[in-house]
Amino acid sequence: MIRSATHSSYPRIGDGAWDQQLRRTARERDRGLATETELRAVEDEVASLVVAEQARAFVDLVTDGLVRWSGPFSHLPRGWDGVEQGGLARWFETGLYDRRPAVTGPVSRREAVVVRDARLALEVRPKALKAVLPGPVTLAHVARRDAGVDREELAGQFAAALAAEAAELAAAGVRVLQVDEPILCREPASAAAVARCVGPVFEAMGTGATTILSTYFGDLASPGIDLASLPGTHLGLDMVHGPGNWPLLTKLPEGRGVHLGLFDARTVRIESSDEVFERMVPYREILMERDVMVGPQCGLELIPRDYAFDKLLQARYLKERLEREWQWRS
Amino acid sequence: MAFLTTTIGSFPKPPALHEARRRYAEGAIEAAALREVENEATLRALRFQEDLGLDLLVDGEMDRADPITTFAERLSGVEIAGWVRAYGDRYVRKPRIVGPVARAGASTVERFRYARGAASREVKAVLPGPYSLVDGSYDDHYPSRRAACTALAEIVREEVRDLAAAGATDIQIDEPAAGARPDEIAWMHELIERVGEPVRGRARLWVYLGYADLDALGEALAATPADGLLVAGAHCGYAGVERFARAVPANRFVGIGVVDTLRPSVESEGEIRDRIARVRDLVAPDRLWIVPDGGFRALRPDAARAKLSAMVRAAK
């Protein structure tokens, strides 16, 4: 099966006056002219619009754009005890800053964080929603912790909190879950920890769920990474910033689907669906044996909204060409 | 003991300036009318700093929406791609390099001249550095990041030279992206050398290193070739700051951030004194500067005023 898919985040504002509503309301809130409740209501509106905009690009698998997320490190820990918001750090080599989790004690989940968001998005796209969670190992890697706290043990605590979130997402009707572990491309030695920690998060989704282990900003070509040990029904690979992932397609475990990140979500150059198609041609037979999703290699909020939409359109055109020329059904 | 104090650059824009900028964007007022409002806001920022007793003033960046964007959009070879999120609810209009970059004229000198003429003590000129200009832009023209940075370094170098010619005794290069890629720190230093070369011995060159991970990169960043280095410390509970301060050569000035400029809650004077106590023995007293973590652009004016007042009281 072939599907087009958004990766995770989507730009919250655009250049038009109406598209600036979220930014404007946040500024009004800062000046005491709007309440937190009013800002949250605007976020809900924007999230619905973002889901609808992806549908307008005819993307098969959409997200809620992570519109309400404070950031990739800090958002989920807001619902956890034992973690505070720490100092600023960059999200890998991007211009996006966020607060690191600062661990103050044993971590446990206090309340759901993204379940309500998923319910609202399901109302707009009931059969095509992908929920996204940060990876416990990546979170543990960026977290500030006391010298006595073991990183892997911390990742295990984060994983338990994320598994509880996943179980509630599944109960809310989510059938596709992506967990982001970009650290795996930087630190191949973390593969065992990823396998150990992310597995239970996916298991919490129950049988029949589509579970995507997403990696990006590099490749998984290190010999230290045993692809078969990585959890999930699908493996997310960055084919733009991880050229070493192309030959890996021949080594994927049997039956494993792939979420191919083919469009660069860190640049505003729009790759045409045709140029991306040509890159896929040598791997036609291998790919057609699998369940494949095509789209950007990471969240789209790193580029302006017009460009993000254009990249999704190209992903759709790519999927349509694959259907047409390879007789690949979606 | 009293410590020297300065700020990183930006102050919150008053509502009248927001309104004037909006009206200018709509074509309802001329550039001269906007300039008048910017001048008024600059004067207020200067008076506030003077009243508090800061040792080195800034103009408050009342003419800049965002330091990278405003500098970049005045260059040829650069377009604005659109809005992207930078942190929390903060968004920037991110530039895109589409051709060879060139400077039509000085970008920051007019505002510096105005502020210096209106101030009772020295004003530090502030401008973005080449590494962060490229890091904060999409590059569709140069073959590599290093090539783009080298081209931007020439632009910043000319600007630095013009600022010194206009009488700037202190020039701050903002390189908040300095720690983004550890393997590029060495050639980022070469860029700073190049940029600062025209004013060596004539003006003090400062480099603001932003929110870099000092735990991991403190030693490498401490070798940045400048007369003074400024870092954020409050945001991260001083992780790595002591290590950084120890590594800075003894003949350099060191500015340590003691208030978090991205959180609205105001630190108490006592809290700030405790933070100063952590670094006061690591740097010679006449070399240590007490500063905020970053610019005050993102804060409400009342919060910025309260934070800066507490900082100066604690330092003095």
Find chain B residues with C-beta within 8 A of A268's C-beta.
81, 96, 138, 140
Contact A96 B232 (CB under 8 A): no
pLDDT at B1: 75
Report residue B308's pLDDT band, with 50, 70 and 90 as the boundaries. very high
Task: Say whether pLDDT at B207 is over 90.
Answer: yes
Which band of pLDDT confidence, cut at 50, 70 and 90, is reported for residue B257?
very high
pLDDT higher than threshold 90 for residue A18: no
Nearest CA in chain B to A265: B138
Question: Distance between CA A99 and CA A2 in Å, rounded?
Answer: 37
Query: For A61-91, how does the pLDDT look when each residue is reduced to its tens digit (9 = 90+)?
Result: 999 999 999 999 999 999 999 999 999 999 9
Q: Which residue has the tokens 């208030």?
A: B259
What average pLDDT does this structure show over A275-289?
96
Which among B96, B136, B181 is the nearest to A95, CB-wise?
B136
Cβ–Cβ gap A30/B91 under 8 Å: no
Return the minimum-mean-pLDDT range out of A125-134, B159-168, B216-225: A125-134
Q: Do A269 and B140 touch (CB under 8 A)?
A: yes
Q: What is the dihedral of CA A154, A157, A163, A166, to 10 degrees?
A: -70
pLDDT of residue A126: 78
How much is the pLDDT for B183?
96
Q: Examine the pLDDT at B298 and tell me if it is beyond 90.
A: no
pLDDT digits (tens, 9 = 90+) for B55-67: 999 999 999 989 8
pLDDT at residue A125 in the model: 84
Among partner residues A13, A31, A268, which is closest to B91 by beta-carbon distance? A13
Write down the ipTM of this complex: 0.94
**Looking at the partner chain, which of B135, B232, B264 has a beta carbon nearest the beta carbon of A95?**
B135
Q: Quick check: A30 and B96 CB within 8 A?
A: no
The whole-angstrom distance between A41's CA and the closest CA on chain B is: 15
> In sequence order, what DSSP letters do the residues of chain B get, joined into one string?
---EE---SB-PPPHHHHHHHHHHHTTSS-HHHHHHHHHHHHHHHHHHHHHHT-SSB--B-TT-SSHHHHHHHTEEEEEEEEEEEEETTEEEEEEEEEEEEEESS-SSHHHHHHHHHH-SS-BEEEEE-HHHHHHTSEESSSSSHHHHHHHHHHHHHHHHHHHHHTT-SEEEEE-TTTTS-GGGHHHHHHHHHHHHGGGTTTSEEEEE-TT--HHHHHHHHHT--SSEEEE--GGGTTTTHHHHHHHS-TTSEEEEE-S-TTS-SPPPHHHHHHHHHHHTTTS-TTTEEEE-SS-STTS-HHHHHHHHHHHHHHH-
Q: What per-residue confidence (pLDDT) applies to A146?
A: 78
pTM: 0.95
List chain B residues with CB under 8 Å of A267.
Answer: 138, 140
* Residue type for position A238: D
Q: Which residues contact A282 (CB under 8 A, 6 or more apart)?
A: none
The nearest CA of chain A is from the CA of B200 a distance in Å of 31
How many angstroms away from the CA of A205 is the closest CA of chain B? Answer: 30
- In this predicted structure, what is the pLDDT of residue A264? 98
**Residue A267 Cα, gap to closest chain B Cα (Å):** 6
Bridge partners, B204 (sequence order): B170
Measured between beta carbons, which residues in chain A are less than 8 angstroms from residue B177? 95
- To the nearest whole number, what is the mean pLDDT of chain A? 95
Best probe of the A interface among B89, B97, B139, B142, by most A CBs < 10 A, is B89
CA distance A99 to chain B (A): 9
Q: Which helix (H) or strand (E) holds A81?
A: strand A80-90
Chain A neighbors of B138, CB-CB under 8 A: 267-269, 303
Mutation site, A268, A269, A306, A307, interface B, largest B CB count within 10 A: A268
Q: A100-117 pLDDT, tens per residue?
A: 999 999 999 999 999 999
**Pairing assessment for the beta strands A80-90 and A97-109 based on DSSP bridges:** antiparallel
Strand B75-87 and strand B90-103: the pairing is antiparallel
Which residues of B are less than 8 Å from A71 in CB distance? 87-88
**If interface means Cβ-Cβ distance under 8 Å, which residues of chain B face chain A?**
15, 81-89, 91-92, 94, 96, 135-136, 138, 140, 177, 180-181, 211, 213, 232, 235-237, 239, 262, 264, 300
When CB atoms are compared, the residue of B86, B140, B239 closest to A96 is: B86
The reported pLDDT for the residue numbered A32 is: 84
Q: What is the mean pLDDT of residues B234-245?
A: 92
What does the pLDDT read at residue B19? 94
Which of A20, A31, A70, A97 to probe the B interface (max B CBs under 10 A)? A97
Task: Write b or e for each residue in A260-287: b if 16 or more Cβ atoms lie within 10 A of its Cβ, otherwise e.
Answer: bbbbbbbbbeebebeebbeebeebeeeb
